[in-house]
């Protein structure tokens, strides 16, 4: 059954019951080897992540003091809260790469803290970080430090390492792709809050890839049976070429510009407000519940 009422979503990183953060539930459902695009090398993934985060950094660096408290479409979060979330989990990512044993030991403590915060209605640790720091500029500098530390740790890590996280371990490539999607999606929330237009880049291919690979998870999280018919995804890249996933002879097709497809898969825009189109009943059903992040099944507010 689908939810009766759509709601705005943020990437809920931990729930009252220990659950996978963001894309991790997707990894468990679809297989870690599908999480990242095989067309990109590890060094290219690192560069794409750095570029995505730098794009958001440029916007935040120019943010006026009064705009940090602007509410984002993620209910209860303002711009500073969104950055706080990114900073908190960037630091967690660094901890996992640099000292996995310590990270695992502290993981249960974070689960308990998240559960307590959700039950009491207080800010979860990822949001509380920014509120405790107070000064958004200081928070931004802390995020920069965490990003640089992750880049160093990832570059020096064994490419075959399994990275511990809040769910199944992941390959370094998949983990880095997940970091990129998180930066992009929360960046969309921030840009919406301050009224900055979205700009498409070739990095959207990562988001589209995760969204396509999350088909099984989308159906399972909404409690909807997947008819099983093959679906082809046809995406118009920002440069004018075409990215495709799925069999060429599939009669069910999802198509549209890369930015629109990524927005729909991450529930940052309702499909009716985009140029994403479907052909065939299975493609139509899938798109109505498409969800590229973990957590309870949600649908997008038609006004978003």
What CATH code is carried by the domain that includes residue 109?
1.20.120.450
pLDDT score recorded for residue 34: 54
d(C-alpha 104, C-alpha 101), whole Å: 5
Is 58 a member of any domain?
A: yes
Which among 262, 113, 251 has a CA at the least distance from the CA of 183?
Answer: 262
Q: In whole angstroms, what is the distance from residue 275 CA to residue 271 CA?
A: 7
* Sole residue written with tokens 């998949």: 174
| Assigned domain for 101 exists | yes
How far, rounded to the nearest angstrom, does the alpha carbon of residue 4 sit from its chain's CA centroid? Answer: 24
**pLDDT score of 114:** 86
**pLDDT at residue 38, rounded to an integer:** 55
The per-residue pLDDT string of the chain (304 residues; one tens digit each, 9 = 90 and over) reads 233 333 344 443 332 222 233 443 444 444 454 555 655 789 999 999 999 999 999 999 999 999 999 999 998 999 999 999 999 999 999 999 999 999 998 888 898 898 888 888 889 999 999 999 999 999 999 999 999 999 999 999 999 999 999 888 989 999 999 999 999 999 999 999 999 999 999 999 999 999 999 999 999 999 999 999 999 999 999 999 999 999 999 999 999 999 999 999 999 999 999 999 999 999 999 999 999 987 789 999 898 8
Q: Which of 143, 179, 149 is nearest to 57 (CA)?
A: 143
Long-range contacts, stretch 46-52, CB < 8 angstroms, 24+ apart:
46/151, 46/154, 46/155, 46/176, 48/180, 48/203, 48/206, 49/151, 49/176, 49/179, 49/180, 49/183, 50/147, 50/151, 51/201, 51/203, 52/180, 52/183, 52/184, 52/187, 52/201, 52/203
Strand partners, 233: 245, 254
Q: Which domain holds residue 123?
A: 24-194
CA distances from 31 to 36, 157, 170, 174, 301 (A): 10, 22, 10, 10, 29
Q: Could you give the strand order of the β-sheet that contains 277-279, starting from the edge strand earlier in sequence?
A: 242-245, 231-236, 252-257, 277-279
- Residue 269, pLDDT score: 97
Q: 214 lies in a domain?
A: no
Number of domains making up the chain = 1
What is the pTM for the complete model shown?
0.87
Helix (H, G, I), strand (E, B) or coil at 301: coil
Q: What is the pLDDT of residue 295?
A: 78
Residue 109 lies in a domain: yes
On whether residue 11 sits in a domain, the answer given is no
Cα 178 to Cα 293: distance, rounded to the nearest angstrom? 10
Give pLDDT, residue 12: 39
Per-position DSSP letters for 85-148, written without gaps between them: HHHHHHHHHHHHHH-HHHHHHHHHHHHHHHHHHHHHTPPPHHHHHHHHH--HHHHHHHHHHHHH
What pLDDT was estimated at residue 27? 42
Containing 190, the helix (H) or strand (E) segment is helix 172-194
Residue 116 lies in a domain: yes
């Amino acid at each position: 059954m689908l939810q009766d009422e759509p709601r705005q979503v943020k990437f809920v990183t931990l729930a009252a019951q220990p659950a996978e953060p963001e894309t991790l539930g997707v990894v468990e459902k679809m297989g870690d080897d599908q999480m990242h695009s095989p067309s990109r090398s590890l060094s290219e993934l690192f560069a794409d992540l750095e570029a995505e985060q730098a794009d958001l950094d440029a916007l935040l660096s120019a943010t006026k003091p009064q705009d940090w408290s602007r509410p984002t479409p993620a209910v209860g979060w303002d711009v500073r809260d969104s950055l706080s979330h990114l900073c908190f989990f960037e630091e967690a990512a660094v901890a996992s790469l640099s000292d996995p044993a310590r990270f695992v030991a502290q993981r249960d403590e974070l689960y308990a803290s998240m559960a307590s915060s959700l039950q009491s209605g207080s800010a979860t640790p990822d949001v509380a970080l920014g509120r405790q720091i107070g000064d958004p500029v200081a928070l931004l500098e802390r995020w920069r430090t965490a990003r640089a530390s992750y880049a160093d740790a990832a570059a020096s890590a064994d490419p075959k390492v399994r990275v511990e996280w809040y769910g199944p371990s992941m390959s370094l490539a998949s983990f880095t792709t997940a970091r990129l999607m998180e930066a992009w999606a929360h960046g969309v929330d921030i840009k919406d809050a301050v009224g900055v237009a979205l700009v498409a880049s070739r990095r959207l291919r990562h988001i589209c890839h995760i969204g396509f690979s999350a088909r099984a998870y989308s159906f399972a999280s909404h409690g909807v049976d997947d008819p099983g018919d093959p679906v082809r995804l046809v995406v118009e890249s920002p440069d004018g070429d075409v990215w495709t996933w799925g069999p060429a002879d599939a009669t069910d097709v999802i198509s549209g510009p890369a930015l629109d497809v990524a927005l729909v898969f991450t529930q940052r825009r309702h499909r009716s407000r985009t140029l994403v189109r479907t052909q065939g009943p299975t493609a139509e059903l899938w798109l109505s519940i498409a969800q590229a992040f973990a957590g309870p099944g949600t649908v997008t507010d038609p006004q978003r």
